[in-house]
Structure 1
Amino acid sequence: MGFPGVWMTESESLVYRVVPKCACSTIGQIMFHSDHGRYFDGDIHDSKDGLHKWNQDHSQPLIEEAVRAGRGVTFTCVRNPYSRILSSFFDKIAGIQRNGKRYRGNLVPQLMQRYGIEVGSPDDEFDFDQVRSFRRFLLFARDTIRWRRPMEPDIHWSAMSGHISTFITNGGKYDQIFFTEKFNEGMQRVLDAAETPVKIDVNDVPRFNESEGHGPKRAHKVSDYFDDLSRHLLWEIYKRDFVLFKYDFDDPDNKFPTAEVDLDEVHAKLGR
Protein backbone atom coordinates (compact mmCIF):
# COMPACT_ATOMS: atom_id res chain seq x y z
CA MET A 1 0.00 0.00 0.00
CA GLY A 2 2.81 2.42 0.81
CA PHE A 3 2.08 6.06 1.61
CA PRO A 4 -0.41 7.54 -0.87
CA GLY A 5 -0.97 11.29 -0.60
CA VAL A 6 2.44 11.93 0.99
CA TRP A 7 4.79 14.71 -0.09
CA MET A 8 8.36 15.01 1.18
CA THR A 9 11.07 17.63 0.72
CA GLU A 10 14.16 16.47 -1.18
CA SER A 11 16.20 17.16 1.97
CA GLU A 12 13.85 14.74 3.81
CA SER A 13 13.33 17.39 6.50
CA LEU A 14 9.53 17.51 6.10
CA VAL A 15 7.05 14.68 5.42
CA TYR A 16 3.46 15.80 4.82
CA ARG A 17 0.26 13.80 4.38
CA VAL A 18 -1.86 15.91 2.03
CA VAL A 19 -5.49 16.48 3.04
CA PRO A 20 -7.41 18.23 0.23
CA LYS A 21 -9.09 21.57 1.07
CA CYS A 22 -6.78 22.07 4.07
CA ALA A 23 -4.23 24.66 2.81
CA CYS A 24 -2.33 21.99 0.85
CA SER A 25 -1.23 24.44 -1.90
CA THR A 26 0.37 26.77 0.64
CA ILE A 27 1.95 23.91 2.59
CA GLY A 28 3.44 22.42 -0.59
CA GLN A 29 4.91 25.78 -1.59
CA ILE A 30 6.42 26.26 1.87
CA MET A 31 8.01 22.81 1.65
CA PHE A 32 9.40 23.61 -1.82
CA HIS A 33 10.77 26.95 -0.57
CA SER A 34 12.33 25.35 2.52
CA ASP A 35 14.60 23.34 0.20
CA HIS A 36 15.18 25.70 -2.72
CA GLY A 37 14.79 29.24 -1.39
CA ARG A 38 12.09 30.02 -3.95
CA TYR A 39 8.47 29.11 -4.62
CA PHE A 40 7.42 26.78 -7.41
CA ASP A 41 6.30 28.74 -10.46
CA GLY A 42 2.72 27.53 -10.87
CA ASP A 43 0.37 25.28 -8.94
CA ILE A 44 2.49 23.08 -6.66
CA HIS A 45 0.19 20.16 -7.49
CA ASP A 46 1.65 20.28 -11.02
CA SER A 47 5.31 20.08 -9.94
CA LYS A 48 7.23 17.10 -11.27
CA ASP A 49 10.56 17.73 -9.54
CA GLY A 50 11.89 19.62 -6.54
CA LEU A 51 9.42 17.89 -4.21
CA HIS A 52 8.94 14.17 -3.68
CA LYS A 53 5.36 12.93 -4.12
CA TRP A 54 4.05 9.41 -3.71
CA ASN A 55 2.40 9.52 -7.15
CA GLN A 56 5.86 9.91 -8.75
CA ASP A 57 7.44 6.49 -9.14
CA HIS A 58 10.98 7.67 -8.42
CA SER A 59 9.83 9.24 -5.12
CA GLN A 60 8.18 6.16 -3.62
CA PRO A 61 11.22 4.25 -2.34
CA LEU A 62 12.71 7.46 -0.91
CA ILE A 63 9.48 8.38 0.93
CA GLU A 64 9.05 4.82 2.19
CA GLU A 65 12.62 4.63 3.49
CA ALA A 66 12.41 8.06 5.20
CA VAL A 67 9.10 7.27 6.91
CA ARG A 68 10.21 3.84 8.10
CA ALA A 69 13.44 5.33 9.47
CA GLY A 70 11.58 8.17 11.19
CA ARG A 71 13.46 10.90 9.35
CA GLY A 72 12.05 14.40 9.05
CA VAL A 73 9.09 15.99 10.81
CA THR A 74 5.89 14.17 9.80
CA PHE A 75 2.74 16.27 9.88
CA THR A 76 -0.65 17.07 8.40
CA CYS A 77 -3.24 19.83 8.62
CA VAL A 78 -7.00 19.67 9.29
CA ARG A 79 -9.96 22.02 8.86
CA ASN A 80 -13.43 22.53 10.29
CA PRO A 81 -15.72 20.03 8.47
CA TYR A 82 -18.45 22.67 7.99
CA SER A 83 -16.18 25.09 6.13
CA ARG A 84 -14.29 22.29 4.34
CA ILE A 85 -17.41 20.82 2.70
CA LEU A 86 -18.62 24.32 1.79
CA SER A 87 -15.24 25.05 0.21
CA SER A 88 -15.46 21.79 -1.76
CA PHE A 89 -18.87 22.79 -3.10
CA PHE A 90 -17.90 26.32 -4.12
CA ASP A 91 -14.60 25.24 -5.65
CA LYS A 92 -15.32 21.87 -7.27
CA ILE A 93 -19.06 22.02 -8.03
CA ALA A 94 -20.00 25.68 -8.46
CA GLY A 95 -16.58 26.92 -9.61
CA ILE A 96 -14.75 26.83 -12.92
CA GLN A 97 -11.42 25.01 -12.72
CA ARG A 98 -8.02 26.44 -13.69
CA ASN A 99 -8.31 24.84 -17.13
CA GLY A 100 -11.49 26.83 -17.79
CA LYS A 101 -13.74 23.76 -17.54
CA ARG A 102 -16.03 22.20 -14.96
CA TYR A 103 -14.53 19.75 -12.46
CA ARG A 104 -14.37 16.14 -13.67
CA GLY A 105 -16.03 16.81 -17.00
CA ASN A 106 -19.62 15.58 -16.84
CA LEU A 107 -19.92 15.53 -13.03
CA VAL A 108 -21.78 18.84 -12.69
CA PRO A 109 -24.31 18.12 -15.50
CA GLN A 110 -24.92 14.73 -13.85
CA LEU A 111 -25.60 16.42 -10.50
CA MET A 112 -27.95 18.92 -12.12
CA GLN A 113 -29.90 16.07 -13.64
CA ARG A 114 -29.92 13.63 -10.70
CA TYR A 115 -30.01 15.96 -7.70
CA GLY A 116 -31.48 19.17 -9.12
CA ILE A 117 -28.36 21.16 -8.26
CA GLU A 118 -27.96 24.59 -9.88
CA VAL A 119 -24.60 26.33 -10.06
CA GLY A 120 -25.05 29.29 -12.37
CA SER A 121 -22.24 30.33 -14.70
CA PRO A 122 -19.78 33.18 -15.28
CA ASP A 123 -22.29 34.57 -17.83
CA ASP A 124 -24.96 35.17 -15.17
CA GLU A 125 -22.36 35.96 -12.47
CA PHE A 126 -23.16 32.65 -10.77
CA ASP A 127 -26.71 33.66 -9.94
CA PHE A 128 -28.30 30.66 -8.20
CA ASP A 129 -29.79 29.67 -4.84
CA GLN A 130 -26.60 28.75 -2.99
CA VAL A 131 -28.30 27.32 0.10
CA ARG A 132 -30.68 25.03 -1.78
CA SER A 133 -27.99 23.78 -4.17
CA PHE A 134 -25.46 23.19 -1.42
CA ARG A 135 -27.93 21.10 0.60
CA ARG A 136 -28.61 18.96 -2.45
CA PHE A 137 -24.88 18.58 -3.02
CA LEU A 138 -24.56 17.39 0.57
CA LEU A 139 -27.04 14.58 -0.18
CA PHE A 140 -24.88 13.60 -3.14
CA ALA A 141 -21.67 13.71 -1.04
CA ARG A 142 -23.33 11.49 1.59
CA ASP A 143 -24.44 9.01 -1.09
CA THR A 144 -20.89 8.72 -2.46
CA ILE A 145 -19.38 8.22 1.00
CA ARG A 146 -22.06 5.94 2.46
CA TRP A 147 -22.96 3.84 -0.56
CA ARG A 148 -20.27 4.72 -3.13
CA ARG A 149 -22.91 5.71 -5.65
CA PRO A 150 -23.47 7.27 -8.10
CA MET A 151 -19.63 7.35 -7.89
CA GLU A 152 -16.74 6.73 -5.52
CA PRO A 153 -16.26 9.55 -2.97
CA ASP A 154 -14.03 12.34 -4.22
CA ILE A 155 -10.85 13.18 -2.27
CA HIS A 156 -12.08 16.76 -1.75
CA TRP A 157 -15.09 15.75 0.32
CA SER A 158 -14.14 12.34 1.74
CA ALA A 159 -13.42 12.50 5.48
CA MET A 160 -10.12 13.90 6.71
CA SER A 161 -9.74 10.95 9.07
CA GLY A 162 -9.77 8.61 6.07
CA HIS A 163 -6.89 10.46 4.40
CA ILE A 164 -4.94 10.74 7.62
CA SER A 165 -5.43 7.09 8.65
CA THR A 166 -3.65 5.58 5.62
CA PHE A 167 -0.33 7.00 6.81
CA ILE A 168 -0.78 5.40 10.24
CA THR A 169 -2.10 2.01 9.13
CA ASN A 170 0.83 1.63 6.72
CA GLY A 171 3.43 2.28 9.41
CA GLY A 172 3.79 6.04 9.69
CA LYS A 173 3.53 8.19 12.82
CA TYR A 174 2.60 11.87 12.96
CA ASP A 175 4.77 14.27 14.93
CA GLN A 176 2.30 17.14 14.54
CA ILE A 177 -1.26 17.80 13.35
CA PHE A 178 -2.31 21.45 13.20
CA PHE A 179 -5.35 23.50 12.19
CA THR A 180 -5.97 25.47 9.00
CA GLU A 181 -7.74 28.01 11.22
CA LYS A 182 -4.49 28.59 13.15
CA PHE A 183 -2.27 28.12 10.14
CA ASN A 184 0.67 30.42 10.84
CA GLU A 185 1.08 29.19 14.40
CA GLY A 186 0.82 25.51 13.45
CA MET A 187 3.00 25.63 10.34
CA GLN A 188 5.69 27.61 12.15
CA ARG A 189 5.79 24.98 14.89
CA VAL A 190 6.41 22.32 12.22
CA LEU A 191 9.19 24.36 10.59
CA ASP A 192 10.82 25.14 13.94
CA ALA A 193 10.99 21.41 14.70
CA ALA A 194 12.61 20.59 11.33
CA GLU A 195 16.12 21.14 10.06
CA THR A 196 15.34 22.75 6.70
CA PRO A 197 18.06 24.02 4.33
CA VAL A 198 16.26 27.39 4.12
CA LYS A 199 14.66 29.06 7.14
CA ILE A 200 11.15 30.49 6.66
CA ASP A 201 9.00 32.89 8.66
CA VAL A 202 5.43 31.78 7.89
CA ASN A 203 4.19 35.35 8.36
CA ASP A 204 6.12 36.29 5.19
CA VAL A 205 4.57 33.53 3.05
CA PRO A 206 1.87 34.50 0.52
CA ARG A 207 -1.30 32.40 0.46
CA PHE A 208 -1.47 30.05 -2.51
CA ASN A 209 -5.22 29.51 -2.87
CA GLU A 210 -5.36 27.93 -6.31
CA SER A 211 -9.17 27.73 -6.34
CA GLU A 212 -9.83 31.38 -5.55
CA GLY A 213 -11.46 33.62 -8.14
CA HIS A 214 -12.80 30.83 -10.38
CA GLY A 215 -16.34 30.72 -9.08
CA PRO A 216 -19.04 32.28 -6.90
CA LYS A 217 -18.34 33.90 -3.56
CA ARG A 218 -20.11 32.46 -0.53
CA ALA A 219 -23.07 34.77 0.06
CA HIS A 220 -24.11 33.73 3.59
CA LYS A 221 -22.61 32.79 6.93
CA VAL A 222 -21.81 29.12 7.45
CA SER A 223 -24.83 28.28 9.63
CA ASP A 224 -27.28 29.51 6.95
CA TYR A 225 -26.33 26.57 4.72
CA PHE A 226 -27.07 23.94 7.37
CA ASP A 227 -30.62 23.15 8.45
CA ASP A 228 -31.41 20.23 10.77
CA LEU A 229 -31.28 17.64 7.97
CA SER A 230 -27.98 18.85 6.52
CA ARG A 231 -26.40 18.98 9.97
CA HIS A 232 -27.60 15.41 10.54
CA LEU A 233 -25.97 14.40 7.23
CA LEU A 234 -22.75 16.16 8.18
CA TRP A 235 -22.59 14.29 11.49
CA GLU A 236 -23.23 11.02 9.66
CA ILE A 237 -20.35 11.70 7.25
CA TYR A 238 -17.82 13.48 9.46
CA LYS A 239 -18.50 12.41 13.05
CA ARG A 240 -14.97 11.05 13.43
CA ASP A 241 -13.47 14.28 12.06
CA PHE A 242 -15.40 16.42 14.54
CA VAL A 243 -14.46 14.20 17.48
CA LEU A 244 -10.80 13.48 16.70
CA PHE A 245 -9.88 16.97 15.53
CA LYS A 246 -11.85 18.78 18.24
CA TYR A 247 -14.23 20.87 16.15
CA ASP A 248 -17.52 22.29 17.46
CA PHE A 249 -20.43 20.46 15.84
CA ASP A 250 -23.05 22.43 17.79
CA ASP A 251 -22.05 25.85 16.39
CA PRO A 252 -21.39 25.87 12.63
CA ASP A 253 -20.23 29.50 12.86
CA ASN A 254 -17.46 28.66 15.33
CA LYS A 255 -14.71 27.67 12.93
CA PHE A 256 -12.06 27.22 15.62
CA PRO A 257 -11.24 23.93 17.35
CA THR A 258 -12.16 23.60 21.02
CA ALA A 259 -8.88 21.88 22.02
CA GLU A 260 -5.55 20.71 20.61
CA VAL A 261 -5.41 17.42 18.70
CA ASP A 262 -4.54 14.46 20.92
CA LEU A 263 -1.95 12.63 18.81
CA ASP A 264 -2.11 9.48 20.93
CA GLU A 265 -5.88 9.32 20.42
CA VAL A 266 -5.51 9.86 16.66
CA HIS A 267 -2.92 7.07 16.34
CA ALA A 268 -4.95 4.70 18.50
CA LYS A 269 -8.29 5.25 16.74
CA LEU A 270 -7.06 5.58 13.14
CA GLY A 271 -4.40 2.88 13.38
CA ARG A 272 -6.83 0.01 13.79
Structure 2
Amino acid sequence: MGFPGVWMTESESMIYRVVPKCACSTIGQIMYFSDHGEFFDGDIHDAKTGLHKWSRDDSHAPIERAVHDRTAPAFTCVRNPYARILSSFFDKIAGIQRNGRRYRGNLVPQLAQRYGIDVGSPENDFDFDQIASFRRFLLFARDTIRWRRPMEPDIHWSAMSGHISTFIVNGGRYDRIFFTEALNDGMAQVLADARTPHQVDLANVPRFNESEGHGPKRAFKVSEYFDDLSRHLIWEIYKDDFQLFRYDFDDPDNKMPVGDIDLDEVHAKLGR
Protein backbone atom coordinates (compact mmCIF):
# COMPACT_ATOMS: atom_id res chain seq x y z
CA MET A 1 0.00 0.00 0.00
CA GLY A 2 2.92 2.35 0.54
CA PHE A 3 2.34 5.85 1.84
CA PRO A 4 -0.68 7.44 0.14
CA GLY A 5 -1.19 11.11 0.87
CA VAL A 6 2.44 11.69 1.84
CA TRP A 7 4.43 14.70 0.62
CA MET A 8 8.14 15.24 1.22
CA THR A 9 10.48 18.11 0.38
CA GLU A 10 12.97 17.34 -2.39
CA SER A 11 15.78 18.03 0.10
CA GLU A 12 14.18 15.27 2.24
CA SER A 13 14.09 17.68 5.19
CA MET A 14 10.51 16.85 6.27
CA ILE A 15 7.73 14.34 5.60
CA TYR A 16 4.06 15.34 5.74
CA ARG A 17 0.95 13.16 5.72
CA VAL A 18 -1.72 15.33 4.09
CA VAL A 19 -5.10 15.50 5.83
CA PRO A 20 -7.65 17.33 3.64
CA LYS A 21 -9.29 20.45 5.08
CA CYS A 22 -6.49 20.84 7.65
CA ALA A 23 -4.43 23.71 6.19
CA CYS A 24 -2.81 21.35 3.67
CA SER A 25 -2.44 24.06 0.99
CA THR A 26 -0.58 26.35 3.39
CA ILE A 27 1.58 23.54 4.78
CA GLY A 28 2.48 22.36 1.27
CA GLN A 29 3.48 25.89 0.27
CA ILE A 30 5.65 26.25 3.40
CA MET A 31 7.40 23.00 2.49
CA TYR A 32 7.89 24.19 -1.09
CA PHE A 33 9.29 27.54 0.08
CA SER A 34 11.67 25.85 2.52
CA ASP A 35 13.32 24.12 -0.45
CA HIS A 36 13.09 26.75 -3.19
CA GLY A 37 12.92 30.15 -1.47
CA GLU A 38 9.64 30.99 -3.19
CA PHE A 39 6.06 29.80 -3.14
CA PHE A 40 4.61 27.60 -5.87
CA ASP A 41 2.72 29.69 -8.42
CA GLY A 42 -0.72 28.10 -8.23
CA ASP A 43 -2.45 25.47 -6.14
CA ILE A 44 0.23 23.34 -4.49
CA HIS A 45 -1.98 20.29 -5.08
CA ASP A 46 -1.34 20.76 -8.80
CA ALA A 47 2.46 20.90 -8.49
CA LYS A 48 4.08 18.15 -10.56
CA THR A 49 7.64 19.10 -9.60
CA GLY A 50 9.40 20.73 -6.66
CA LEU A 51 7.85 18.46 -4.03
CA HIS A 52 7.88 14.69 -3.66
CA LYS A 53 4.35 13.26 -3.61
CA TRP A 54 3.34 9.64 -3.25
CA SER A 55 1.01 10.11 -6.24
CA ARG A 56 4.14 10.40 -8.41
CA ASP A 57 5.82 7.08 -9.17
CA ASP A 58 9.29 8.63 -9.10
CA SER A 59 8.69 9.79 -5.51
CA HIS A 60 8.01 6.31 -4.11
CA ALA A 61 11.60 5.26 -3.51
CA PRO A 62 12.81 8.45 -1.77
CA ILE A 63 9.70 8.65 0.40
CA GLU A 64 9.92 4.98 1.41
CA ARG A 65 13.60 5.32 2.23
CA ALA A 66 13.17 8.46 4.31
CA VAL A 67 10.16 7.08 6.21
CA HIS A 68 11.77 3.74 7.02
CA ASP A 69 15.17 5.24 7.91
CA ARG A 70 13.55 8.08 9.87
CA THR A 71 16.00 10.55 8.40
CA ALA A 72 13.53 13.45 8.48
CA PRO A 73 10.81 14.60 10.89
CA ALA A 74 7.40 13.21 9.95
CA PHE A 75 4.30 15.18 10.86
CA THR A 76 0.66 15.83 10.17
CA CYS A 77 -1.97 18.38 11.16
CA VAL A 78 -5.51 17.98 12.53
CA ARG A 79 -8.55 20.25 12.90
CA ASN A 80 -11.68 20.49 15.01
CA PRO A 81 -14.13 17.97 13.49
CA TYR A 82 -17.10 20.35 13.71
CA ALA A 83 -15.25 23.08 11.80
CA ARG A 84 -13.74 20.60 9.35
CA ILE A 85 -17.04 19.07 8.23
CA LEU A 86 -18.58 22.54 7.90
CA SER A 87 -15.62 23.62 5.78
CA SER A 88 -16.05 20.54 3.60
CA PHE A 89 -19.71 21.40 3.05
CA PHE A 90 -19.17 25.05 2.17
CA ASP A 91 -16.18 24.32 -0.04
CA LYS A 92 -17.00 21.07 -1.80
CA ILE A 93 -20.82 21.03 -1.80
CA ALA A 94 -22.01 24.64 -1.68
CA GLY A 95 -19.00 26.24 -3.39
CA ILE A 96 -17.83 26.52 -6.98
CA GLN A 97 -14.43 24.93 -7.58
CA ARG A 98 -11.46 26.80 -9.04
CA ASN A 99 -12.22 25.25 -12.46
CA GLY A 100 -15.57 27.07 -12.44
CA ARG A 101 -17.61 23.92 -11.97
CA ARG A 102 -19.23 22.02 -9.14
CA TYR A 103 -17.18 19.46 -7.22
CA ARG A 104 -17.19 15.97 -8.76
CA GLY A 105 -19.51 16.95 -11.58
CA ASN A 106 -22.97 15.57 -10.87
CA LEU A 107 -22.54 15.11 -7.10
CA VAL A 108 -24.55 18.19 -6.11
CA PRO A 109 -27.51 17.34 -8.40
CA GLN A 110 -27.50 13.82 -6.92
CA LEU A 111 -27.61 15.24 -3.40
CA ALA A 112 -30.46 17.54 -4.38
CA GLN A 113 -32.42 14.56 -5.68
CA ARG A 114 -31.62 12.00 -2.97
CA TYR A 115 -31.24 14.15 0.14
CA GLY A 116 -33.14 17.33 -0.70
CA ILE A 117 -30.05 19.50 -0.43
CA ASP A 118 -30.26 23.02 -1.88
CA VAL A 119 -27.06 25.07 -2.09
CA GLY A 120 -28.20 27.95 -4.25
CA SER A 121 -26.03 29.28 -7.07
CA PRO A 122 -23.88 32.27 -7.97
CA GLU A 123 -26.88 33.63 -9.88
CA ASN A 124 -28.99 33.96 -6.70
CA ASP A 125 -25.98 34.91 -4.55
CA PHE A 126 -26.03 31.45 -2.90
CA ASP A 127 -29.38 32.13 -1.22
CA PHE A 128 -30.38 28.91 0.57
CA ASP A 129 -31.16 27.53 4.02
CA GLN A 130 -27.63 26.78 5.17
CA ILE A 131 -28.59 24.95 8.35
CA ALA A 132 -31.17 22.63 6.76
CA SER A 133 -28.94 21.80 3.80
CA PHE A 134 -25.88 21.19 5.95
CA ARG A 135 -27.79 18.76 8.19
CA ARG A 136 -28.95 16.84 5.13
CA PHE A 137 -25.38 16.76 3.84
CA LEU A 138 -24.31 15.34 7.19
CA LEU A 139 -26.71 12.42 6.70
CA PHE A 140 -25.16 11.83 3.29
CA ALA A 141 -21.62 12.00 4.71
CA ARG A 142 -22.55 9.47 7.41
CA ASP A 143 -24.06 7.14 4.81
CA THR A 144 -20.88 7.22 2.71
CA ILE A 145 -18.64 6.54 5.72
CA ARG A 146 -20.82 3.97 7.49
CA TRP A 147 -22.23 2.04 4.55
CA ARG A 148 -20.21 3.33 1.57
CA ARG A 149 -23.37 4.33 -0.27
CA PRO A 150 -24.49 6.05 -2.39
CA MET A 151 -20.72 6.41 -2.96
CA GLU A 152 -17.36 5.80 -1.32
CA PRO A 153 -16.51 8.38 1.36
CA ASP A 154 -14.73 11.42 0.03
CA ILE A 155 -11.29 12.32 1.41
CA HIS A 156 -12.54 15.76 2.45
CA TRP A 157 -15.04 14.43 4.98
CA SER A 158 -13.70 11.00 5.90
CA ALA A 159 -12.24 10.86 9.41
CA MET A 160 -8.82 12.35 10.07
CA SER A 161 -7.86 9.24 12.02
CA GLY A 162 -8.38 7.17 8.88
CA HIS A 163 -5.99 9.32 6.85
CA ILE A 164 -3.43 9.43 9.62
CA SER A 165 -3.54 5.68 10.31
CA THR A 166 -2.29 4.63 6.86
CA PHE A 167 1.12 6.13 7.53
CA ILE A 168 1.43 4.20 10.81
CA VAL A 169 0.05 0.89 9.55
CA ASN A 170 2.56 0.88 6.68
CA GLY A 171 5.59 1.43 8.89
CA GLY A 172 5.81 5.17 9.51
CA ARG A 173 5.99 7.02 12.79
CA TYR A 174 4.97 10.62 13.43
CA ASP A 175 7.32 12.92 15.27
CA ARG A 176 4.64 15.61 15.60
CA ILE A 177 0.90 16.01 15.18
CA PHE A 178 -0.22 19.59 15.64
CA PHE A 179 -3.42 21.62 15.43
CA THR A 180 -4.64 23.73 12.51
CA GLU A 181 -5.87 26.14 15.17
CA ALA A 182 -2.22 26.71 16.23
CA LEU A 183 -0.66 26.30 12.79
CA ASN A 184 2.28 28.67 13.21
CA ASP A 185 3.31 27.12 16.52
CA GLY A 186 3.12 23.61 15.07
CA MET A 187 5.02 24.44 11.90
CA ALA A 188 7.65 26.32 13.91
CA GLN A 189 8.35 23.14 15.85
CA VAL A 190 8.59 21.09 12.65
CA LEU A 191 10.92 23.61 11.01
CA ALA A 192 13.09 23.69 14.14
CA ASP A 193 13.57 19.92 13.77
CA ALA A 194 14.26 20.08 10.03
CA ARG A 195 17.36 21.12 8.11
CA THR A 196 15.95 23.25 5.29
CA PRO A 197 17.80 25.04 2.48
CA HIS A 198 15.77 28.23 3.10
CA GLN A 199 14.43 29.77 6.28
CA VAL A 200 10.69 30.39 6.47
CA ASP A 201 9.28 33.50 8.16
CA LEU A 202 6.02 31.98 9.36
CA ALA A 203 4.63 35.33 10.50
CA ASN A 204 4.57 36.50 6.87
CA VAL A 205 3.32 33.33 5.19
CA PRO A 206 -0.11 33.94 3.60
CA ARG A 207 -2.93 31.48 4.13
CA PHE A 208 -3.37 29.56 0.91
CA ASN A 209 -7.10 28.85 0.97
CA GLU A 210 -7.81 27.71 -2.56
CA SER A 211 -11.60 27.68 -2.01
CA GLU A 212 -11.81 31.22 -0.65
CA GLY A 213 -14.23 33.48 -2.52
CA HIS A 214 -15.83 30.76 -4.68
CA GLY A 215 -18.96 30.09 -2.67
CA PRO A 216 -21.22 31.19 0.17
CA LYS A 217 -19.91 32.47 3.49
CA ARG A 218 -20.97 30.66 6.65
CA ALA A 219 -23.80 32.77 8.09
CA PHE A 220 -24.09 31.35 11.62
CA LYS A 221 -21.86 30.28 14.47
CA VAL A 222 -20.82 26.64 14.43
CA SER A 223 -23.22 25.39 17.12
CA GLU A 224 -26.30 26.57 15.19
CA TYR A 225 -25.66 23.99 12.48
CA PHE A 226 -25.69 21.08 14.92
CA ASP A 227 -28.90 19.96 16.60
CA ASP A 228 -29.08 16.81 18.74
CA LEU A 229 -29.33 14.49 15.73
CA SER A 230 -26.44 16.21 13.96
CA ARG A 231 -24.22 15.88 17.02
CA HIS A 232 -25.16 12.19 17.30
CA LEU A 233 -24.06 11.73 13.68
CA ILE A 234 -20.85 13.67 14.27
CA TRP A 235 -19.97 11.43 17.21
CA GLU A 236 -20.74 8.32 15.15
CA ILE A 237 -18.42 9.49 12.36
CA TYR A 238 -15.64 11.24 14.27
CA LYS A 239 -15.50 9.70 17.74
CA ASP A 240 -11.83 8.72 17.31
CA ASP A 241 -10.95 12.18 16.03
CA PHE A 242 -12.45 13.87 19.08
CA GLN A 243 -10.84 11.49 21.53
CA LEU A 244 -7.37 11.05 20.01
CA PHE A 245 -6.86 14.68 19.03
CA ARG A 246 -8.45 16.15 22.17
CA TYR A 247 -11.22 18.26 20.67
CA ASP A 248 -14.27 19.40 22.64
CA PHE A 249 -17.35 17.44 21.58
CA ASP A 250 -19.59 19.12 24.15
CA ASP A 251 -19.11 22.67 22.84
CA PRO A 252 -19.16 23.00 19.04
CA ASP A 253 -18.19 26.68 19.35
CA ASN A 254 -14.95 25.84 21.14
CA LYS A 255 -12.65 25.26 18.21
CA MET A 256 -9.55 24.80 20.36
CA PRO A 257 -8.33 21.43 21.67
CA VAL A 258 -8.81 20.74 25.37
CA GLY A 259 -5.56 18.81 25.84
CA ASP A 260 -2.31 17.69 24.27
CA ILE A 261 -2.08 14.85 21.78
CA ASP A 262 -0.45 11.69 23.13
CA LEU A 263 1.64 10.41 20.20
CA ASP A 264 2.13 6.98 21.81
CA GLU A 265 -1.63 6.59 22.16
CA VAL A 266 -2.19 7.65 18.54
CA HIS A 267 0.36 5.10 17.27
CA ALA A 268 -1.04 2.34 19.49
CA LYS A 269 -4.68 2.88 18.49
CA LEU A 270 -4.23 3.70 14.82
CA GLY A 271 -1.50 1.15 14.18
CA ARG A 272 -3.74 -1.85 14.71
CA deviation map 1:173-193 (0-9, x unaligned): 000000000111111111111
Cα deviation, residue 260, structure 1: 1.2
In structure 1, how many angstroms separate the alpha carbons of the residues matched to 2:174 and 2:101? 37
Corresponding letter in the other structure for 2:47: S
SS in 2 for 1:39: coil
Corresponding letter in the other structure for 2:229: L
Cα deviation, residue 90, structure 1: 0.1
In structure 2, how many angstroms separate the alpha carbons of the residues matched to 1:236 and 1:122? 33
In structure 1, how many angstroms separate the alpha carbons of the residues matched to 2:234 and 2:206? 32
For structure 1, which segment, 108-117 or 194-203, has the greater mean C-alpha deviation from structure 2 after superposition?
Answer: 194-203
SS in 2 for 1:178: strand
Check the 8 A contact 1:5/1:18 in 2, yes or no.
yes
Cα deviation, residue 104, structure 1: 0.1
For 1:15, the equivalent position in structure 2 comes to: 15
CA deviation map 1:20-44 (0-9, x unaligned): 0000000000000000000000000
Q: TM-score, normalised by structure 1?
A: 1.00
For 2:267, the equivalent position in structure 1 comes to: 267
CA deviation map 1:203-250 (0-9, x unaligned): 111110001100000000000000000000000000000000000000
Check the 8 A contact 1:188/1:201 in 2, yes or no.
no
Check the 8 A contact 1:174/1:263 in 2, yes or no.
yes
In structure 2, how many angstroms separate the alpha carbons of the residues matched to 1:73 and 1:10? 14
In structure 2, how many angstroms separate the alpha carbons of the residues matched to 1:21 and 1:255? 14
Q: TM-score, normalised by structure 2?
A: 1.00
In structure 1, how many angstroms separate the alpha carbons of the residues matched to 2:208 and 2:263? 28
For 1:37-48, list aligned pairs within 5 A: 37-48=37-48
Q: Provide the identity percentage.
A: 78
For 1:189, the equivalent position in structure 2 comes to: 189
For 2:248, the equivalent position in structure 1 comes to: 248
Q: Tell me if 1:108 matches 2:120.
A: no
SS in 1 for 2:212: coil
In structure 1, how many angstroms separate the alpha carbons of the residues matched to 2:227 and 2:83? 15
In structure 2, how many angstroms separate the alpha carbons of the residues matched to 1:260 and 1:27? 21
Corresponding letter in the other structure for 2:228: D
Structure 2 unaligned blocks of 5 or more: none
In structure 2, how many angstroms separate the alpha carbons of the residues matched to 1:71 and 1:212? 36
In structure 2, how many angstroms separate the alpha carbons of the residues matched to 1:35 and 1:121? 40
Cα deviation, residue 122, structure 1: 0.4
SS in 2 for 1:77: strand
For 1:134, the equivalent position in structure 2 comes to: 134
Structure 1 unaligned blocks of 5 or more: none
Check the 8 A contact 1:168/1:267 in 2, yes or no.
yes
Cα deviation, residue 116, structure 1: 0.0
CA deviation map 1:46-85 (0-9, x unaligned): 0000000000010011101110110111000000000000
For 1:75-86, list aligned pairs within 5 A: 75-86=75-86
For 1:32, the equivalent position in structure 2 comes to: 32
Instruction: Indicate the RMSD between aligned Cα atoms, in angstroms.
Output: 0.4
Q: Which runs of 4+ in 1 moved over 3 A?
A: none
For 1:202, the equivalent position in structure 2 comes to: 202
Cα deviation, residue 202, structure 1: 1.0
For 1:225-236, list aligned pairs within 5 A: 225-236=225-236
SS in 2 for 1:8: strand
For 1:176, the equivalent position in structure 2 comes to: 176
SS in 1 for 2:110: helix
Corresponding letter in the other structure for 1:243: Q
SS in 2 for 1:234: helix
Cα deviation, residue 201, structure 1: 2.1
Corresponding letter in the other structure for 1:66: A
For 2:64, the equivalent position in structure 1 comes to: 64
For 1:87-102, list aligned pairs within 5 A: 87-102=87-102
